[in-house]
Structure 1
Amino acid sequence: MSRFVIAFLAGACLSAPTFAGDDMTKHPQKMSKAEIAGEIFKDKRLVVMTHEGEEGPYQTEDVETFLSTDKKFDSGMYRSGPVRMTLEPYGVDEFMYFLEGGVTLTSDDGTVTEIKAGDAVTIGKEWRGTWDTKGYTKIYVIYSPTPMVGEE
């Protein structure tokens, strides 16, 4: 799985701090209504990154709210600026609930799936296609067969 795909999907999970010794996996991890409304992006865990898409650079913001001890299951809130990219393959299994904005997913076979604020979508790691957005904010839940943090 490419670093680019992981960085795109989980925001900054590759560089996000690990929370060794905290209670992240010992207690339920809640996102409050205020956090979901955007307050979470003021959290000390926020990781902001700049990536290169097919049409130039774009910025992402990620707050990881849960990372399993084996680093294969991850959740949080993420927002991204405009980007268009081709993913071959997607690389992780991900459930997303879009709070703002949306994305157009065009599968390799030409099938177009429009996701808008209020919609949820699940993408399998084998999915291949084009991800095109003017920007969005989402809640994500990701499963990866390989650890998402500390990967070299």
Structure 2
Amino acid sequence: MPHPIAFTTTGVAPEAFSPTEGRILRGNPQQQAWNHYTDPTGQFSAGIWQGEPGAWRVLYDPHEEEFCVLLEGRMTLTADDGTAQSFHAGDAFVVPGGFSGVWENHTRVRKHYAIMALQKKNET
């Protein structure tokens, strides 16, 4: 029987990573994620993410949607058309599928995330 899952970093090993070198625009944006849940299909995941200051290019798959709630820090998302939106601790936002632009952490950022990444069905 499924049960609710609490988000704590206790007992969950973080995964450390950084954007690929060609996507980093400035800084050394080292990142960690504590993934607390992945559904049986592998299409939905949720947990805690933390990133250090820096800026890097992002490209979300057309079928990848992310809901974020900032727990700590300040950051800006700038779309390829130049539209920028800034967020700080306490803000919630969605990054829609197909978003392309720059993710910039002005400070260390920590967030809750929930990502739905649908597998594209084969079209025949």
Quickly name the TM-score band, shorter chain normalised: 0.7 to 0.9
Is 1:120 the counterpart of 2:92 in the alignment? yes
CA distance in 2, matches of 1:69, 1:108: 34
CA distance in 2, matches of 1:139, 1:105: 17
* Structure 1, gaps ≥5 residues long: 1-22, 148-152
Does the aligned pair in 2 maintain the 1:43–1:63 contact within 8 Å? no
What secondary structure does 1:58 align onto? coil
RMSD of aligned C-alpha atoms? 2.0
CA distance in 2, matches of 1:68, 1:145: 12
What secondary structure does 2:29 align onto? strand
Would you tell me which structure has more helix in proportion to its own residues? 1
Structure 2 vs 1, CA of residues 90 and 50 (structure 1 numbering), >3 Å: closer, same or farther?
closer
Give the stretch that moved more between structures: 66-75 or 99-108: 99-108
Aligned to 2:110: 137
CA distance in 1, matches of 2:27, 2:109: 17
Aligned to 1:90: 60
CA distance in 1, matches of 2:68, 2:101: 17
Find 1:64's aligned residue among 10, 24, 35: 35
- TM-score by structure 1 length? 0.67
Aligned to 1:10: none
Find 1:74's aligned residue among 41, 45, 53: 45
Give the stretch that moved more between structures: 108-117 or 72-81: 108-117
Q: Could you tell me how far 1:102 is from its partner in structure 2?
A: 2.1
Q: Could you tell me how far 1:30 is from its partner in structure 2?
A: 1.7
Aligned to 2:73: 101
Kindly provide the amino acid, as one letter, of the partner of residue 145 in structure 1. Answer: L
Would you tell me which structure has more strand in proportion to its own residues? 2
- TM-score by structure 2 length? 0.80
What secondary structure does 2:73 align onto? strand
Deviations 1:39-82 (A, max 9, x none): x1x53422223444222533211111110001000000010111
* Structure 2, gaps ≥5 residues long: none
Report the count of equivalent residues: 114
CA distance in 2, matches of 1:55, 1:111: 19
Is 1:46 the counterpart of 2:14 in the alignment? yes
CA distance in 2, matches of 1:128, 1:58: 18
